[in-house]
Amino acid sequence: MNRLLVSNGLILDPVTASVKTSDVYIADGNIVAIDHRPEGFEAEQTIDASGLIISPGLVDLCARLREPGLEFKADIHSEVTAAASAGITTLCCPPDTNPVIDEPAVVELIHRKAATAAHTNVVTLGALTRRLEGQLLSEMSTLHAAGCVGVSNSRKPVANTLILRRAYSYAANCGITVFIEPDEHWLSMGGCAHDGSVATRLGLNGIPVSAETVAISRALELILETGVKAHFGRLSSAHGVELIRRAKERGMEITADVSAHQLFLNEMDINSFNSMCHVLPPLRSQRDMEALRQAVKDGVIDAICSDHQPHEPDAKQAPFASTQPGISSLETLLALTLRLVHEQVVPTYTALSLLSTQPAAILGLNTGVLAADRPADICIYDPDQDWQLDASGMLSRGKNTPFEGWNFQGKVRYTIIGGTLVHTA
Amino acid sequence: MVNKSTRPTDPLIGNDSWNIQLDSNGRLKHFLTIEGLGSEILTNILDTAESFANVNEQRVKKVPLLRGKTIVNLFFEASTRTRTTFELAAKRLSADILNINISTSATSKGESLLDTLQNLQAMLCDMFIVRHSDSGAAHFIAGNVAPHISVINAGDGRHAHPTQAMLDMFTIRRNKGKDFGQLRVAIVGDLLHSRVARSQIHALNILNTGDVRVIAPKTLIPTDIEDMGVSVFNDLEAGIKDADVIIMLRLQKERMQGAFLPSEHEYYSQYGLTEERLRTAKDDAIVMHPGPINRGVEIESRVADGERSVILDQVKYGISVRMAIMSMVLGREPEHDETEAN
């Protein structure tokens, strides 16, 4: 028995676009009621949420935990602790671990370690092809049964389109969602920056927009033919967004996400060979960034994720192209998304939905909603608290962030996962 | 504290990538890229090089300007000509110079670039002259060395080769005079892979050149290069029409492998500079090439060895220009806080 009361917090109602002060009653891991005290409810613990916003816990569609395989960068314990402190109550781990998530033992290992850490829930994507090599199908049904919420080939290529078609077809047969990180390997190979004027000036190998759009186009045709349920992750370009928009308009039931940093950085930010801005897909032009923001506003993009990739310091200490791509971004996910609210791109309830309700639905999870009988996965933040990012103070073992020194407004105060208060600030 | 509540970088000028080249008095501390330097600094380099050109023509070709200074030639990529001219320039300035060829030493044993630097730094040298196959390597090194060490970029990836560009400007000035305003300069060849061309384009534009053109097949033109202030031509004769200066770039043989071009023969048939095509340019046009040249691939022997060619002058001027840059960088008055640190 664990009874928790969150009192006097503000809940945003997306239907009426209104804010109301509410109490949330939690028992046995679930929300049991909102507003009205259930008969006989005696709270063992009460959180005074006056002046704070109560949001569904954040659901992050893509976070690399580096375990198993790259524990010198980070591990499950360190990263789920960081995630919980950032209001993230569920995160999805892509299959490109070492060993790859292509057999149940690896799924079990990750789930067991995450459970031991007792912070953010971790769900996994299984490999679409064995060892992500793009040759043989993985045992998707077995992986699904072991707990994988979808399958993906990560950013690894499936060069043979017939194999890709059969993989989608088989996934459709198993009723599993395919998560696609669109990248045409041959077009992006050797590249480290957007193929545009900045890469030209700095003499960096460019990755053209077609690396994304060719992959999206190929995938869309195969999705149409196979009927597989599909999600496109980490869009980076205006043209990529346009392809998704048109496919949705045609009635295809696809979804898409963008990583938060793509909405705030563009190719100009790598100007001084800033390796913290070395990411894949690359930061593209200002115009692309604006198109991604517009797509978030229009609902073409359904979710914002962290695309968290923690690194040891050495990984970023080299000439730009030789550094490893990625940002340690769990702890800026909420802050950056709230900044979209301050910059009047989206209202607060939309921002929170992009971070919780919608990604939860994409993953097919029961969470992401504040309602009775749903899991009590809750993020409570102070919308007015100003703070400045100090990378050395981040809980993630990866301190690699281009947002060092940025000022943000809105900070997590409490994180509740499965009815247990796991983080207080 | 800087307020970073808005975007911390300026969308127009970026992160001031060149600022680390200048000390607190606005003088050259490192020489990493031409980009962002003012015409005053470039002109100063050219004028100083002019005075060293006289030294190089005397019987005793040595001045004591950098006596007691230690310079390390740090080449992570093979080079004969550039390394040798830096070495000669250093010796003529009376500096001690050490050649380290890293491609066959430390990094091939798995040592990181940063470790290599720290080891060399411990030898108490004053300047690194760096060549590396990664774009941005010289910036990275300059950002990670001890504050008393200066870095000169002798070529980083496809990014920059600023001393080469300065000796090219010197060659143009000697032949065409100080006013670049009326000049039409055409750069021909593999722009995509050329650090020399990128630095030349910056230098030409900073010196206010009237018309800067680049000429190459589309597969060898970098995306949006127009943004650097050039006009793009895919036809050689149209591009070099009435040009005052033609700069040919070397075509690497491996470009056939990446499907940039079908064959050297076809390239030469369309982009090779022959005597006949040269007639399209002005009668007194000069022909330049950073070397080493591929005869019969990008340039006809009769042109390379002909009276319009200033290719060997470029090599000669390379010494004076590098002397100028090294003496300006190492001969600065110490900065205030540096004096304190010492």
- Give contacts of A199 with chain B, Cβ < 8 Å: 222-223
Q: Which residue of B has its CA nearest to A268?
A: B14
Across the interface, whether the CB atoms of B135 and A195 are under 8 A apart is answered no
Decide if A387 contacts A413 (C-beta within 8 A). no
A174: closest CA of chain B, how far (Å): 41
The string over B1-20, giving b where at least 16 C-beta atoms fall within 10 Å of a residue's C-beta and e elsewhere, is eeeeeeebbeeeebbebbee
CA distance A63 to A394: 16
3-class SS of residue B260: coil
pLDDT tens per residue, range A198-219: 999 999 999 999 999 999 999 9
Across the interface, whether the CB atoms of B227 and A203 are under 8 A apart is answered no
H helix or E strand, kind and range, residue B185:
strand B184-188
- Best CA proximity match to B161, nearest among B134, B205, B194: B194
- Give contacts of B113 with chain A, Cβ < 8 Å: 318-319
- Best CA proximity match to B9, nearest among A202, A318, A272, A335: A272
- Best CA proximity match to B136, nearest among A200, A319, A316: A319
Beta bridge partner(s), residue B182:
none
Distances (CA, A) of B259 to B119, B256, B263: 41, 5, 9
Instruction: Give the CA count within 13 Å in the CB-facing half-sphere of B204.
Output: 28
CA distance A47 to A420: 12
What percentage of chain A carries pLDDT values higher than 70? 100
pLDDT for residue B108? 54
Substitution target from B77, B134, B153, B194 for chain A, most A beta carbons within 10 A: B134
pLDDT tens per residue, range A45-80: 999 999 999 999 999 999 999 999 999 999 999 999
The residues of B annotated with a catalytic role in the active site are 81-82, 109, 131, 161
Residue with tokens 């390239």: B267
- Best CA proximity match to B82, nearest among B248, B196, B214, B246: B196
CA distance B35 to B200: 10
Q: Which residue of B has its CA nearest to A192?
A: B135
Peptide bond connecting A95 to the previous residue in cis, omega within 30 degrees of 0: no
Residue from the list B4, B112, B139 with its beta carbon closest to the beta carbon of A405: B4
- Give contacts of A273 with chain B, Cβ < 8 Å: 17, 135-136, 139-140
**Beta pairing class for B211-215 and B286-288:** unpaired
Residues 206-225 of A with CB under 8 A from B: 206, 208
Q: Which residue of A has its CA nearest to B201?
A: A201
Question: Cβ of A273 under 8 Å from any chain B Cβ?
Answer: yes
Instruction: Give the CA count within 13 Å in the CB-facing half-sphere of A186.
Output: 6
B13: closest CA of chain A, how far (Å): 8
Q: Write out residues in chain A with pLDDT < 50, as ranges.
A: none
Angle, CA of B108, B112 and B117, to the nearest 5°: 105
CA distance A25 to A338: 26
Q: Where in chain A is the domain with CATH 2.30.40.10?
A: 3-53+377-424
Angle, CA of A67, A68 and A69, to the nearest 5°: 105
- Best CA proximity match to A59, nearest among A78, A85, A30, A87: A87
Rg of chain B over Cα atoms, rounded to whole angstroms, equals 20
CATH (one of 3.20.20.140, 3.40.50.10490, 3.30.460.80, 2.60.40.1120) for A54-363: 3.20.20.140
Question: Cβ of A264 under 8 Å from any chain B Cβ?
Answer: yes
**Dihedral angle computed from the Cα positions of residues B171, B174, B175 and B180, in that order, rounded to the nearest 10 degrees:** 90
Across the interface, whether the CB atoms of A201 and B16 are under 8 A apart is answered no
Per-residue pLDDT 10s for chain B (342 aa) are 333 333 333 433 334 544 789 888 888 999 999 998 999 999 999 999 999 988 777 777 788 999 999 999 999 888 888 899 999 999 999 999 998 877 655 555 567 788 888 888 887 899 999 999 999 999 999 999 998 999 999 999 999 999 999 999 999 999 999 999 999 999 999 999 999 999 999 999 999 999 999 999 999 999 999 999 999 999 999 999 999 999 999 998 777 778 899 999 999 999 999 999 999 999 999 999 998 899 999 999 999 999 999 999 999 999 999 999 999 999 876 665 544 443
A131: closest CA of chain B, how far (Å): 28
Across the interface, whether the CB atoms of A203 and B157 are under 8 A apart is answered yes
**CB neighbour list of residue A264: distance below 8 Å, 6 or more residues apart:** A289, A336, A339, A403, B7
CA distance A264 to A257: 15
Q: Where in chain A is the domain with CATH 3.20.20.140?
A: 54-363
Substitution target from B2, B112, B140, B144 for chain A, most A beta carbons within 10 A: B140
Chain B positions touching chain A (beta carbons under 8 Å): 2-5, 7-9, 11, 14-17, 35, 112-114, 132, 134-137, 139-140, 144, 156-160, 195, 198, 222-225, 227-228
Residue from the list B17, B198, B227 with its beta carbon closest to the beta carbon of A203: B198
Residue from the list B15, B134, B225 with its beta carbon closest to the beta carbon of A200: B225
Distances (CA, A) of A317 to A275, A400, B273: 8, 11, 43
H helix or E strand, kind and range, residue B211:
strand B211-215
Structure token digits, residue A414: 């409490």
pLDDT for residue B109? 57
Residue from the list A206, A264, A319 with its beta carbon closest to the beta carbon of B137: A319
Residue from the list B5, B140, B157 with its beta carbon closest to the beta carbon of A318: B140
B51: closest CA of chain A, how far (Å): 32
Peptide bond connecting A68 to the previous residue in cis, omega within 30 degrees of 0: yes
3-state secondary structure chain A: CCEEEEEEEEEEECCCCEEEEEEEEEECCEEEEECCCCCCCCCCEEEECCCCEEEECEEECCECCCCCCCCCCCCHHHHHHHHHHCCEEEEEECCCCCCCCCCHHHHHHHHHHHHHHCCCEEEEEEECEHHHCCCCECCHHHHHHCCCCEEECCCCCCCCHHHHHHHHHHHHHHCCCEEECCCCHHHHCCCCEECCHHHHHHCCCEECCHHHHHHHHHHHHHHHHHCCCEEECCCCCHHHHHHHHHHHHCCCCEEEEEEHHHHCCCHHHHCCCCHHHCCCCCCCCHHHHHHHHHHHHHCCCCEEECCECCCCHHHHCCCHHHCCCCECCHHHHHHHHHHHHHCCCCCHHHHHHHHCHHHHHHHCCCCCCCCCCCECCEEEEEEEEEEECCHHHCCCCCCCCCCCCCEEEEEEEEEEECCEEEEEC
Structure token digits, residue B160: 């920059």
Substitution target from A272, A323, A387, A403 for chain B, most B beta carbons within 10 A: A272
Determine the longest span between alpha carbons in chain A, in angstroms. Answer: 69
- Walk me through the domains of chain B, giving residue ranges and CATH numbers: 19-161+318-333 (3.40.50.1370), 162-310 (3.40.50.1370)
Residue with tokens 């206010």: B208
Question: Cβ of A322 under 8 Å from any chain B Cβ?
Answer: yes
**Model ipTM value:** 0.89
Across the interface, whether the CB atoms of B198 and A319 are under 8 A apart is answered no
pLDDT for residue A381? 98
pLDDT for residue A210? 98
CA distance B197 to B317: 18
- Give contacts of A202 with chain B, Cβ < 8 Å: 135-136, 159
Question: Cβ of A98 under 8 Å from any chain B Cβ?
Answer: no
Residue from the list B113, B156, B198 with its beta carbon closest to the beta carbon of A318: B113
Question: Cβ of A200 under 8 Å from any chain B Cβ?
Answer: yes
Helix (DSSP H) and strand (DSSP E) numbers for chain B: 12, 9
Residue from the list B8, B156, B224 with its beta carbon closest to the beta carbon of A405: B8
Across the interface, whether the CB atoms of A319 and B140 are under 8 A apart is answered yes
CA distance B133 to B154: 11
**Beta pairing class for A3-13 and A18-27:** antiparallel
B227: closest CA of chain A, how far (Å): 6
CATH (one of 3.30.70.141, 3.40.50.300, 2.60.40.1260, 2.30.40.10) for A3-53+377-424: 2.30.40.10
Residues 370-399 of A with CB under 8 A from B: 388
A307: closest CA of chain B, how far (Å): 21
What percentage of chain A carries pLDDT values higher than 90? 97
CA distance B162 to B170: 12
